[in-house]
Amino acid sequence: MNWWLLLTRRIPNNIIGAIVEANSTRKDHVADSILAKNSKVVGIYRLTMKTNSDNFRQSAIQGVELVIYEPVLEEEEFDGSRVVKDFYEFKEISDVIVANRLTDDLKDVSEKVYTRDLFSRD
């Protein structure tokens, strides 16, 4: 048997569980913060986590209408939410816009944007 495997079996490994729990807590906190704004329509600006990525994540916000602006999606709906093709319509109908990153495209509606992007970069 591999010595590394023997060694790792003796070490308690609760770090993965702690990471999963911390991510869940953070996701719930973000969702609660957005819902506290009492918005009727929450817009999701881009589903990808980083520029030029195709890593789509599920949304944790429930109980409000979600609309999505994601130009690479050809479908009319994604995971039960309407995909809005017109960016200006998306900005107009969204009470809150959730964005992984703050871009120049969102500067004119910055008062609507909810982001954790402190430095405006990927």
The domain spans of the chain are 39-122
User: What's the rounded mean pLDDT across residues 4-11?
Assistant: 62
Domain spanning 39-122, CATH architecture? 3-Layer(aba) Sandwich (3.40)
With a pLDDT cut of 90, the percent of the chain lying above it is 25
pLDDT at 51 over 70: no
Q: Is pLDDT of 109 > 70?
A: yes
What's the rounded Cα separation, in Å, for the pair 108 and 100? 17
- Three-state DSSP class for 21? helix
* Interacting residues of 75 by C-beta distance below 8 A, sequence separation 6+: 83
- pLDDT reported for residue 55: 47
Q: Which pLDDT score, from 0 to 100, does residue 8 have? A: 61
Residue 101: φ, ψ to 5°: -140, 145
Alpha-carbon gap, residue 7 to 10, rounded angstroms: 6
Where is pLDDT greater, at 72 or 18?
72
Tokens of 65: 């209408």
Span 109-115, mean pLDDT?
A: 90
